[in-house]
Structure 1
């Protein structure tokens, strides 16, 4: 069984010294392909470089996260558009709104979000989106692009039942991470994931963040990595009342369809 991690920040500096070992461990745990998240101008270039260095195993996104929205200039827009001309780039993002930390002014976040949604319209590529504590404004911006966007995934879903059903009403995909395994703040997801239609379900680690807290024995470090996607899928399958193999097969097929990846398992090299 092959798993696909749709959101791994492998360009993060914590992976610089041992990426080959990280990829080998992922392969040993059935994670054959990964989509490397581009969340800034610099990070999007690094995501592309990684995808080119590992063809068929790594793919990339290019975008500017709301934390970095102030860097979204005309030059940045042109830069992202150039990056999206490369076949390794399979989605626009990570982009969206984040009012939890407000690292960029909200008006700047909204403007950067709208500009990147327009890239999605112009390229026809899927959208890899972020939303935290900004649901009303997020939906308002998205309504401005109604019927013009390609496939959408709201990645790392952690929100409410109301938000989930708003997204599902739009036929958007939902990305589930190790937040599901956090007894302090993710317990509500245990019930909510049962309501996600099988064809809208995607899985991701968001490494190096969100180490699943239910791993036993607990790792001695806090860095998450793609190998732990298998654990997330096991937890997700249990909560949905499904066989692990079925959840794995469904989410892998969904990822291939969403990102336009080849069907069938990629060669897994440990």
Structure 2
């Protein structure tokens, strides 16, 4: 069986990968994860992941944005520099942006203002949005609703919330990113019955590595670090709880991801198993 998976959330610039970054990408490809979207959470990190995407051209693309944790440090210059990044062919989404009312590392009104500014930038650039939301579902949806007609596409990445939040996002035609959280028998089992509720053309998978190592992994790495090579665990768990085959989930999430990030044309020669 040869699957070609897309990992829509890889924090490849994280220091956890400093010693073997190139090997992590190679290992991912060997395990069938042939496309990775590298996450930018600040201006500096967005510039860094752009460089990594160029280094690993063909397999890696990236986002550019300001995470709600860093909203308090955002300024006009940062937004202007982000706008220039959106013109780079490797940058395929605005983000990671959104709201985090769990940790509140930035004041909530500031988070909202910075989020709205990035929504405006996404509308200007026509790029999709890669979004973060923690304990802020109602406010997040309220803000999205006022921009929804102008927004191209939006994914709520690393979805871990409840059925009410899921339906709130699906009603707004949002995409949903599922991580190894679904493999955690302590806190992720509530996601299992929800998998059947997510339309196939709205579901994508991600590791959010180096975090969220799937607890269902039989042979766990000693350093407990997650990496894209382990994405198949997430696909397998979704397959188990939707009654689909591993191949079905793999092919569909790949197709959805390539379409979401407008990569289908760029991957014409890399699609391999698609459509078979």
Normalization by structure 2: what TM-score? Answer: 0.94
Q: How does 1:115-154 map to 2 (within 5 A)?
A: 115-154=117-156
**Shift, 1:267, TM fit:** 8.5
Query: In 1, Cα distance between the equivalents of 2:53 and 2:193?
Result: 35
Q: How does 1:50-61 map to 2 (within 5 A)?
A: 50-61=52-63
| CA root-mean-square deviation | 1.3
Q: What 5-or-longer segments of structure 2 have no aligned partner? A: none
Query: In 2, Cα distance between the equivalents of 1:198 and 1:114?
Result: 28
Query: In 1, Cα distance between the equivalents of 2:105 and 2:178?
Result: 24
1:123-149, CA deviations, whole angstroms, 9 ceiling, x for partnerless residues? Answer: 110000110001111011112212000
Q: What 5-or-longer segments of structure 1 have no aligned partner? A: none
Match in the other structure for 1:190: 192
Is the 2:183–2:233 contact (alpha carbons within 8 Å) kept by the matching residues of 1? no
Is the 1:198–1:250 contact (alpha carbons within 8 Å) kept by the matching residues of 2? yes
Q: Which structure's relative contact order is higher, taking Cα pairs within 8 Å and 6+ residues apart?
A: 1
Match in the other structure for 1:213: 215
**Shift, 1:263, TM fit:** 4.3
Query: In 1, Cα distance between the equivalents of 2:213 and 2:221?
Result: 9
Is the 1:211–1:222 contact (alpha carbons within 8 Å) kept by the matching residues of 2? yes
Is the 1:174–1:200 contact (alpha carbons within 8 Å) kept by the matching residues of 2? yes
After the TM superposition, list the runs of 4 or more consecutive aligned residues in structure 1 that deviate by more than 4 angstroms: none
Is the 2:158–2:208 contact (alpha carbons within 8 Å) kept by the matching residues of 1? yes
Query: In 2, Cα distance between the equivalents of 1:99 and 1:92?
Result: 20
**Aligned equivalent of 1:10, options 5, 9, 12:** 12
Query: In 2, Cα distance between the equivalents of 1:15 and 1:267?
Result: 27
Q: How does 1:8-87 map to 2 (within 5 A)?
A: 8-87=10-89
